[in-house]
Structure 1
Amino acid sequence: MRALVFLIAGLFLVLLSACSSNEQQDFTSESDLYESAQEQLERSRWESAIRSLQLLEEHFPFGKYAEQAQLELIYAHFSSGEPDAATASADRFIRLHPQHRNVDYAYYMKGLAAYSKDENFLSQIMPLDQTQRDPGAARESLSYFTQLLNRYPDSPYATDAKKRMLYLRNRLARYEIHVANYYFKRGAYLASINRGKYVLENYQETPAVPDALAVMVQGYHLLEMDELSDRTLAVLRLNYPDHPAFNKSGEFDFQHGDVSGERSWLSMVTFGLFDKRDPRGFDSRRVYDPQYQDAPRATQ
């Protein structure tokens, strides 16, 4: 009886091994496997394409389609909604083929993969304010696109990368203003000023610059650093006279973003964390950036 059990188990393992072998060897040549992967890519069968491309590299690592398969694997991972896998594949290609004629594509896809992390189902059907979301992926994407332009300024992907970088810089600058407004609510005026300075130093010519100046004007005023406040105010008035912080008389509204008056003991102890008041924050996008919600989709 025991011998029969072992015999059945052995037959089962043999059949399982044969099935696995047939699944892995369902091709006769490198060309057949590559053509199969191409067909799967054309039909948007991403998982099947990924398996075929991985098999191609595994069985024909030095074949004539090996390098092209590695590039297409980046695209397949990206298209299947796997940005981290796409980035890993791109990094591997750059490491193995730093002088390849299409290595700029790998750099571009790294930027595009990071860019796609900020897009989800809701962002495609609802007008979400992306500037208030965690900027980690945006910074990562901007860094990758910058690498592409620094290394390959004449790349055919440079034009699209520049468009995305413009949006990313605008978004990151606006995020800094959101943080500055939050610090005003908590009474952390020096921290607000530093956020404004960061925008001026790192994101020049973005629509957030007017608000960065306004943040500094307000912050210096609340810290009673009147000379710096007046100096920054003069720059704001000269360059952005239509900023919403100016009242009808053309004077700067120093209550804009200020929560210093009559704060409760709970507000002071928690640095405004549980302050229910919602002061006006600096946000002049309707004046200087009416198209701030428009952004290119992460399509390749």
Structure 2
Amino acid sequence: MVRQWRGLVLALSLPLLAGCSSFGMPDFFGKADTTVPDAPADRLYNEGLYLLQQKKDYKAAAKRFEEVDRQHPYTEYSRKSLLMSAYSYYEGKEYPEAVMASKRYLSLHPSSPDAAYAQFIMSSAYYDQIPDPSRDQKATERAIKELEDVARKYPNTEYAVSAKRKLDIARDTIAAKEMAIGRFYQEKRDFTGAINRFKVVVTQYQTSRHVEEALMRLAESYMALGIVGEAQTAAAVLGHNFPQSRWYRDAYQLVSTGGAEPTENRGSWISRAFRKTGLG
């Protein structure tokens, strides 16, 4: 991530920084100045770069870049400044502003070589707002959508590689949430409610680290309801896909204690779910 951000700044700034010496560093740096007088595009742009790289004043840098777009629209400086404002807002953890700036860039320059980067900044802004699994996961769901867009639209870029890594973590967070709720229902002996939660993990988040426990909990819940065939299938699928898992040992012992053994019913939704993904 750091290397990617640094690469963006270098790509958009080095040709312009060389021009700074022609007009010097302006006197306003370090002062509380909310107004920006009209100025040449290159001056405003380099002021933004100075605030970003030297002062680490990300919000002020973003405002400078926005001034380039306001005062000099439809120019190459304007295009670059839109992306740099999104980046500056992201670095300053001003995530809603980073999203808005990225969206504006994408709406105006959808075919730009830097469109992938704008999409990545936006998805990263959503990703960085993912809460812990104990909280509502609407933000995580939005992050997943945006990260999937990066991977789908720009599959041959380094951003897609990073997006896929983040997707794994985001999906794991939602799976953890579903598992926590499922275990809560189990404790309340609401086994049908628990099964519905564990089913989400098994059908939608099979690559998460929680799928093994989800299969074990399904075996527990089905056994508690007396639906032995589904419990056997859950244990069998767990053993087939994760034979060394401690959760399989527990599931095997549970089913065996009930006088049965792990046996897969190929018509079960559990079996079909794993065959559909190629894991079964």
Shorter chain as denominator, the TM-score bin is 0.7 to 0.9
Equivalent of 2:235 in 211, 218, 233: 233
1:146 to 122, 127, 148: 148
Show the counterpart of 2:47: 36
Distance 1:115 1:174 in 2: 16
Cα-to-partner distance string for 1:192-238 (whole Å, 9 max, x where unaligned): 11111111111123221111111211111222212212222222344
TM-score, normalized by length of structure 2?
0.72
Q: Is the 8 A contact 1:246 1:253 kept in 2?
A: no
Letter in 2 for 1:35: N
* RMSD after superposition: 2.5
CA contact (8 A) 2:151 2:161 kept: no
Q: Percent of aligned pairs with the same residue?
A: 21
2:206 partner amino acid:
Q
CA distance in 2, matches of 1:230, 1:253: 7
Name the structure, 1 or 2, with higher relative contact order (CA <8 Å, separation 6+): 1
Aligned length, in residue pairs: 223
Measure, in 2, the Cα distance between the counterparts of 1:156 and 1:56. Answer: 29
Once residues 107 and 141 of structure 2 are traced to their aligned partners in structure 1, the CA distance between those partners, rounded to angstroms, is 22
- 1:211 maps to 2:201: no
Gaps of 5+ in 1: 1-20, 120-129, 256-300
The corresponding residue for 2:246 is 243
Shift of 1:186: 2.5
Distance (Å, rounded) in 1 between the aligned partners of 2:59 and 2:204: 41
Q: Which has the larger radius of gyration?
A: 1
Offset at residue 160 of structure 1 (A): 1.5
Structure 2 residue aligned with 1:57: 69
> Given residue 227 of structure 1, which amino acid in structure 2 is its aligned partner?
G
Residue pair 1:173, 1:206 contacting (<8 A) in 2 also: yes
Whether contact under 8 Å (2:63, 2:85) holds in the other structure is: no
Distance 1:225 1:250 in 2: 16
Given residue 170 of structure 2, which amino acid in structure 1 is its aligned partner?
L
**Structure-to-structure mapping, 1:246-261, within 5 angstroms:** 246=249, 251-252=253-254
Between Structure 1 and Structure 2, the one with more helix by share is: 2
Quick one: distance in 2 between partners of 1:101 and 1:144? 18
Match of 1:170 in 2: 172
Unaligned runs of 5+ in 2: 1-32, 258-280
TM-score, length-scaled by structure 1: 0.68
- The worse-fitting range, judged by mean Cα deviation, of 52-61 and 167-176 is 167-176
2:4 corresponds to which residue? none
Shift of 1:156: 2.5
Check the 8 A contact 2:239/2:248 in 1, yes or no.
no
| CA distance in structure 1 between the aligned counterparts of 2:45 and 2:80, rounded to whole angstroms | 10
Per-residue CA distance 1:14-63 (angstroms, 9 max, x = gap)? xxxxxxx99421x6411111111111111211122122112111111122
